[in-house]
Amino acid sequence: MTDDIDGLLKTMRGDAQTLVRSPSSTVAPPSDGELGRKAFEALQKLSHDPRALEDEGPIGEGGMGVVHLARQVSLDRRVAIKFLRPDRGSTHDVEQLLSEAWTAGKLEHPNILPIHALALTADGKPVIVMKRIEGVTWSALLRDPGAMEAHAPGKVPLDEHLRILTQVCHAVHFAHTRGVVHRDLKPENVMVGAFGEVYVVDWGLASAPGPALQLAGTPAYMAPEMLARGGDVVSERTDVYLLGAMLFEVLTGVAPHRGNSLHELFSAVVRSEPQLPSTAPEALASLVRRCMQADASKRPASALEVRRELEAFAERQGSLSLTLQSEHRLTELQTLLSSEAPDVTKVYASFSASRFGFEQALATWAGNTRARDGWKSALRSMVTFEATHGSARTARAFFAELAEANPELQRALEIATAREEEQSRKLQRLEQLETELNPLTGSSIRMATALIISLIWIVAPWIGAKYAKGTDYEGVNAVPIALLSVVVLGFAMLSRRDEGLRSTPLNRQLIRIVAFGMAAQALGLVAGFLALGPYPPGIVPMLSGYWAVIAGVGAVSIFPAIWPTAVAYAFSAAASYVDIDHRYEWGTVGNIVFCINALVLWKQQRRLRRQRPATWRPR
């Protein structure tokens, strides 16, 4: 290796110490005869038009050329013009400038600086008219944290540098598809616009893939085959090496090749053993080492492959960033759950945020085990929370999402399910009890039955007054009325089970009282008639008093709302004794009040059912 480098140094032209002092300077190959002839022919076709461009002064300077801002009169736009420095007007320099223009002019790509035209200066030197970029070189962003902060405020510098390098890979891969190898990729040859645009510039050393005949490139970044030691070949993988060298500078802050002498510098190029800090992300460090392999065959096959690895890393970084944010929300969730009385709203807010973040992280990078572990931890926490404080059904849903065998959680679910089933049975019993104790349950059929019976009882005394008054059957005439009322009760009890008179204890007790009263009245009257003979007129007031007692017992023990009926029957009994001749008419008064009482209660309870359907509707 030493002999190769010594031989190379003997053939170098120019001041070798210049490269030692500035290893980032570009080494251009000597003039090529064919290129010279082509450049001469091109110059003959160009002309100088002093009205085409209005020079507005310098905006930059490189090793060979000067860049000025100018106004292109024909299109009234600002452009950049590049021409040779006064001390660089040799034929070789002209050839290199024209070569840059011809190469870049054929490469139309969003990440390659557009060339608008070629022109001549007043003294016959070529001028490249190109797009004006309002920005800085990538090298300025790499070396000046303040410039990076101004360019991308608040953004992680590594993320922005990787974005820039990814765009460079786009341009380089495109050039390779057109048979062009750049050969001088370095941060100084990448422009970054004010809006984040990225352009690869300075295509003066670009060539087609083939044997490396002359030393060319920038020593600080150079691939071993660019030393042209004999048998070396420049190919697309040469640019891949340079991409890796730029990534090295992103990770370390310095160019990969350094030395106190040209011999040391070129020895570093030949060895190509990049030393990266332990803090460098392993995925990127591995990519640098593979790109900067001394053996070109061991490098990634293309700039496209490098770009895909950078994009995959960026996606993983985004996924890890989401994971970190989600872990903070997971910690917040677990803190909430550790309290004695967790706030359910806050618990679900933290859980939803952490779960969504983990899922987005996994959507970006399915192999993010940290995000998957966090996602499972959040679900496990919610299974435990719901099993302990909430719904066993919800806990089972979370557990099903986990899709894992976890005996501890399974046991907690079994306990929660058993507890919930017991609570469900208790709730059903309470609902049944609520229905049974609800005075509105069956109120419609109850009130309808009461109205029918009261109407029968209103009509009955008038019939008795006409046909039984003063006869031997006075009093006994109430027997058919009682039996008819019992028949009405029977039909009412055969109505719908859920709303019928058998649906609640209240209804059943009322039915028993009324049915007992009817049956006792009928049996008592028949038995008395058979044993004692015809009843005296006083039997009618006694019947009103009998129903006053029945209604009073019902009002006191079961249904207080029927107290007006009890009072009315007591009044009817008293009035009938005082005015015995109008005993049937006074008896009717109690029946009428009974009917009105039933009608008022019916309307009240219908209104209550409409107002409180959820609470009072029978189940």
Report DSSP letters for 332-383, one per residue. HHHHHHTSSS--HHHHHHHHHHHHHHHHHHHHH-TT-HHHHHHHHHHHHHHH
Give me the pLDDT at residue 472, please: 55
Which DSSP state fits 207?
B
DSSP-H helix ranges across 22-57? 33-45
**Residue ranges of the domains in the chain?**
22-301, 321-434, 438-616
Q: Identify the residue whose tokens are 């309870």.
A: 605
Q: Is the distance from CB of 136 to CB of 151 less than 8 angstroms?
A: yes
Q: What is the C-alpha separation between 535 and 475, in angstroms, rounded?
A: 6
More confident residue, 574 or 39: 574
Dihedral, 111, 116, 119, 121 alpha carbons, nearest 10: -60
Tokens of residue 174, six digits: 């495109």
Counting beta carbons within 10 angstroms of the beta carbon of residue 510, is it exposed (0 to 12), middle (13 to 18) or buried (19 or more)? buried
Which DSSP state fits 442?
T
Q: What is the C-alpha separation between 566 and 550, in angstroms, rounded?
A: 8
Counting beta carbons within 10 angstroms of the beta carbon of residue 321, is it exposed (0 to 12), middle (13 to 18) or buried (19 or more)? middle
- At 256-276, the pLDDT tens digits run 998 888 888 889 999 999 999
Q: Tell whether the model's pLDDT for residue 247 goes beyond 70.
A: yes
Q: What is the C-alpha separation between 378 and 517, in angstroms, rounded?
A: 68
The backbone torsions φ and ψ at residue 105, rounded to the nearest 5 degrees and listed phi first, read -65, -25
Q: Is the distance from CB of 403 to CB of 376 less than 8 angstroms?
A: no
Lowest-confidence region among 35-44, 45-54, 207-216, 589-598: 35-44
Amino acid at 9: L
pTM over 0.85: no
- Residue 425 belongs to what H/E stretch? helix 407-437
Q: Which of 52, 177, 173, 77 is nearest to 134 (CA)?
A: 77
- At 527-577, the pLDDT tens digits run 777 776 676 777 778 878 888 888 888 888 877 888 898 898 899 889 888
Tokens of residue 275, six digits: 């030393």
Q: Which of 98, 86, 89, 88 is nearest to 37 (CA)?
A: 98
Tokens of residue 529, six digits: 């008639």
**Per mean pLDDT, which of 49-53, 101-105, 487-491 is the most reliable?**
101-105
Mean pLDDT of all residues in 468-492? 64
Q: What is the C-alpha separation between 107 and 115, in angstroms, rounded?
A: 9
- At 484-532, the pLDDT tens digits run 666 766 666 665 544 556 667 777 777 777 777 777 777 877 777 777 6
Give me the pLDDT at residue 69, please: 93
Mean pLDDT of all residues in 17-35? 61
* Residues with catalytic function: 184
- Whether 82 has a binding-site annotation, put simply, is yes
Q: What is the C-alpha separation between 358 and 368, in angstroms, rounded?
A: 9
Q: Is the distance from CB of 62 to CB of 118 less than 8 angstroms?
A: no
Fold designation for 22-301: Transferase(Phosphotransferase); domain 1 (1.10.510)
Q: Is the distance from CB of 121 to CB of 180 less than 8 angstroms?
A: no
Angle at 492 between CA 488 and CA 495, to 5 degrees: 150
- Residue 131 belongs to what H/E stretch? strand 126-131
Give me the pLDDT at residue 349, please: 95
